[in-house]
Amino acid sequence: MLNINFVPDDYVQNTESRRTNLLCLLLLVLVMAGLVGSFAIIKVRQRACAAEETMVGEKMAAIQKAITQFEQLQVKRKEMMKNALTTAELLEPVPRSVLLASLTNNLPSGASLSKLRLIQKQSKTPPPPSPAPGAKPATPEPAASPEKLIETHIDIEGVAPSDLQVASYIESLGRSTLLQNVALVESTEQSIDDTKFRRFKLTAMLRKEVQLTKEDIDEIRSKAQDTVWRF
């Protein structure tokens, strides 16, 4: 039996053409959707990378700022330590161990120290003298730093066999390069087991602008060791 097709060939071709065009259009839409999606993903990743880069930059800036502040603190700390050492040298130009050694070296035979006290005071600078009538006023001298106006007063207490040793001790201290204004405050007689001795109190001042070399300090300390060994 013969099959007879009543559909025109043009209609069949148009239908197949429409299907092909629709399929191509669908593929084009899918490809464009894929491209748009990829572009959107790339943009999101770029923004995320930019945000992360900004955050890393901010952290690096904060770390750099912290390092700079730390370096500044270290510089200030070194300056403060230097100033503290300078002030300490000005306030105590002679080490106390050297001063004690010098006081011990000058002790006469049979005498010993029982108490020593150092007192630092602010010296009172006298006002400048007023110029005579008609005279030109003198050029004012620059004010001394507060550290150089510090006076070190020394209270010395000890015992000696007699007033002769006390007087000899005062004379020796008066010739010392470290002390000045050595004065006797009190000298009383006391006795223990029928042995009489003199308990004395002296005052003195540490000389200003004292400059001791290492050789001077070593010599004073070596003499002090010899004195202690004799005792």
Give the structural domain span for 191: 96-124+149-230
* Same domain, yes or no: 19 and 115: no
* Same domain, yes or no: 75 and 111: no
H/E segment holding residue 39: helix 9-91
Tokens of 124: 């009172």
* Same domain, yes or no: 175 and 85: no
* Same domain, yes or no: 105 and 206: yes
pLDDT at 201: 93
* Same domain, yes or no: 50 and 104: no
Threshold 0.75, pTM exceeds = no
Tens of pLDDT along 153-194?
Answer: 889 999 998 889 999 999 988 888 788 889 999 888 888 777
Residue 113 has pLDDT above 60, yes or no: yes
The answer to whether position 139 is within a domain reads: no
Q: Are the C-beta atoms of 207 and 180 separated by less than 8 Å?
A: yes
Strand order in the sheet with 150-160: 112-122, 150-160, 195-206, 179-192
Residues 72-81: b if buried by 16+ CB within 10 A, e if exposed: eeeeeeeeee
**Structural domain total, the chain:** 2
The answer to whether position 134 is within a domain reads: no
Q: Helix crossing, 96-105 with 214-230: angle to 10°?
A: 50
* Same domain, yes or no: 110 and 59: no
* Same domain, yes or no: 113 and 65: no
The pLDDT mean for the chain works out to 76
Beta bridge partners of 122: 150
* Same domain, yes or no: 68 and 32: yes
Tens of pLDDT along 21-70?
Answer: 888 889 988 998 988 888 889 988 888 888 888 898 888 988 998 898 88
Nearest to 149 by CA among 121, 169, 111: 121
